[in-house]
Structure 1
Amino acid sequence: MIAPLGSTVSASYQVMYRYTSDDAYINAIVSRIYNKLIISSLDAIGLYYANGIYTIVPQVIDTCPTYATPYVPESIVNGVNLPRILCSINTERVKAGRRPLAVHKALSDEAKEQVKLMDALGHYFKAPRISPLYWVAGQGNTDTDTMLDALSSKYYDDVTSSNYTIAGVAQLNGYWSFILGGLPYGITTRTVCPANLDQVTYVY
C-alpha cells in the first residue's frame, strides 16, 4: 500500500538550487528550512539531485499504511538495474558452460562516459574494437528489459564468450553501452543472480 501524499506537499516543495557538494546542500537545508524539518507533523522527506540542482520535498502523509513496508533501495547503477542485467546474462553464460561475469569499476565508468557523450551528441556511435575489450552500444532502449533483448539476440555469442570475465554497463536517455573485458586471473562471483547491489561482485 502506498499512502497518499498530504495536502502540504506542494507548499513545502523546495528547489534548493545549485550546490557544489552534498555538504553544501546539507548546510543550506539546515539554514533555510530547518524549522520545517523538525515539526512533529512531518512524516517523510524526499531528496533528489540532477544536473547540479538539489531538491527536497518534506511530506506530511494524510493516510498512514496499515502495515509497515520495508524500504528497499533500487539496484540502479548507471541507469540500469544491475542485478537484473547480471542475472539474465550470467544465467545464459552458465548454461553455455562459462563463468558468470563480474562488474568492473573502470569498465562501468567508461560505459557511463560513452552514454553521456552519445546523449550530448544526440546520436549513437560505434566505437572501434579495442582488444581485449568488446564494446556494444545502441539507442532506443530505455529500460533493462529492452537492453537485454538486444544483448541476447544480436550479441549472444559475445556476451556468453569464454574470452570475457568482466563487464560494465550504462544507459542514459535511451542510449546504452555494454563493455566486456577479460582479466588474466580467475574471478569467482558470489552469485549468478544477485538480489541486490550488496551481492554484486565488483572488480576494481
Structure 2
Amino acid sequence: MNTTDSTVATQQEIIITGFGGQGIILAGRIIGMAASLGDNRESTLTQAYGPESRGGACNAQVIISDRPIHYPYVKTPHILVAMSQAGYDKFTDLLTADAILLTDQDLVPKTAAPCPHYAISATRMAEGLGNKMMANIIMIGFFTAITGAVSKQAAQDMVLQSVPKGTEEKNTNAFNKGYDYGVSTLKGKEKRAAGKTGAIAS
C-alpha cells in the first residue's frame, strides 16, 4: 500500500514548503508528532518564515529517526513536499535520485526533479470540500500513503488533536481523501510498471 511500511529508513529528512497561510508549519508539526507520539520514533521540527507570515515563503523541516537526532536541520531531503512553485524552486537542487517529491500540481506546474514525483490537486480538492485551508490536511494524507514515513493511524490521531474543535469530521474526511488518492496513485504506478514489463493490465 505504501513504499516503506516494513523497511522504513533509519532516518528520513523531510522538507515541507509553501507560503504563509497554507498551514505548512502545522503540517510539519502533525507529521513530527505522528512519528514521535504515535509511532514512538525520534523526531525534530524546525521552521522558517519569509518576510511576511501570510503570503511569504515558509518551510518546515522534519527529521524522523530510530535513533537520537543530533542535528535538527535537513541537509539532503529524502522527501520534499512542495505546495508552491517558489518553494519547489528553492529546494529542488537538494533532491537526489532516490528522494521522493510530492507537489500540489495546480500550484507547482513546472517540475524537473531527478526523483520519483507524485502530484495531487490538494488545494482544488480542499475547495471541493468547502474549505481550501484543509489542503495541508489532504497533503498529509497523500504524504502518509505515498511515503509510509508515518503510520496512517498516527497521522490521523495527530490531525484530530491539532485541528480546531468542531472541525474534526471535516478534517478526517480531508485526510482520508488525500490518503485514498495516494493509494490509488501507487496502484496506478504499479500497473503502468507491470505493463512496461509485458504484463497485461487488468
TM-score range, shorter chain: under 0.3
In terms of fraction of residues, the more helix-rich structure is 2
TM-score normalised by L of structure 2? 0.21
TM-score normalised by L of structure 1? 0.21
In terms of fraction of residues, the more strand-rich structure is 1
Q: Which has the larger radius of gyration?
A: 1
